[in-house]
Copies of this chain bind each other. A is one copy, B any other.
Amino acid sequence: MPHRVRVNEVVTRDGFQSEPAFIPTDTKIELINALARLGLHKIEVTSFVSPRAIPNLRDAEEVMSAITRDTDTTYVALVPNEKGCTRALELAVDEINLVMSVSNSHNLANMRMSCEQSLQQFARIAEMTSGTPMRLNGSLATAFGCPFEGPQAEDRVLSVIDAYLERGLHSITLADTTGMAVPTQVYDLCQAVHTRWPELDVTLHFHNTRGLGLSNVLAALAAGMDQFDASLGGLGGCPFAPGATGNICTEDLVHMLHEMDLDTGVDLNALLQQSQRLGVIVDHALPGQVVQAGPRSLTRPLPESVQQLMQDGRP
């Protein structure tokens, strides 16, 4: 297992995109600024999509230009097309996240494009951004299974990575868009990727749809992976994927890693405070569990009745 693990926060993009009520722009900015001080590696700030497609992120430019950019944090925006890329370049975003599904049918449902069309677009975007400091990350959605087609062959996933790298993308994310990954599969795929591209910068993006999010992190760690996306409070999901619930929860992930003596550089207590604040912002219950139960290291006072028993020398 790695000693140091990088944690990327996606709540203001992957979390907020499916919230029914609009999150005020100032609230987004405050949250991002607060999160940037907590030791997270990347923050996926927003998405340069059509405001009609995702109304909650219609303030993408405003948010991206108003946040205070911490030099130790990589600020990311999701970009679905060349227009989005132009917007990201104007705002000097550190990194853009390009998404294509490994399965063609899911890419059609999600992006309204065939995989071939997505790859052509990635090549054009790589050309547009060539010579700029902006990094390109390529996400492989449905890398662990497609809700329409089922599990995806390992060869197919590897060939998509090949196609990304050929088109000039710098790093990749293996994304479990609809929570279909299982630990043995995660271990095998991560090993295959790591063996073929030992120097490649890889992120794992898990959803906890079927309760396996952190188990899949564990399997990925065992295969040498060291970078994970997560969403504060566990907020999120893919609005175009039937049955998809939330991303893995950032504070639950950090809590697990720290308790396994893996360093993240993240301030867990401050993260838990932000998660409580997030519950107020979205005004509904969140799936995160450590914020409810408290970290395991937090012992509780003995009940008075037990103190009494012990003082009495009984039993």
Contact = CB atoms under 8 A, between A and B. Distances in A.
Given A218-B215, A302-B105, A150 B297 contact: yes
Interface string A163-183: 000000000000000011011
A315 interface: yes
Interface stretch (A34-42, A46-54, A80-88, A288-296): A288-296
26 contacts: A105-B302, A108-B309, A109-B302, A109-B306, A145-B296, A147-B299, A148-B299, A179-B293, A179-B296, A183-B260, A184-B261, A185-B259, A209-B289, A210-B255, A210-B256, A210-B289, A210-B290, A210-B296, A211-B256, A211-B288, A212-B214, A215-B218, A218-B218, A243-B294, A243-B300, A245-B292
Contacts of A179: 293, 296
Contacts of A145: 296
Interface stretch (A17-25, A112-120, A133-141, A195-203): A112-120
Q: How many copies of the chain does the oligomer comprise? A: 2
Contact of A212 (B256, B294, B302): B256
Interface string A111-131: 011100100000000000000
Contacts of A293: 179, 209-210, 243-245
A208 interface: yes
Nearest to A234: B211
A237 to B, nearest CB: 10
A252 interface: yes
A195 to B, nearest CB: 21
A105 B180 CA distance: 42
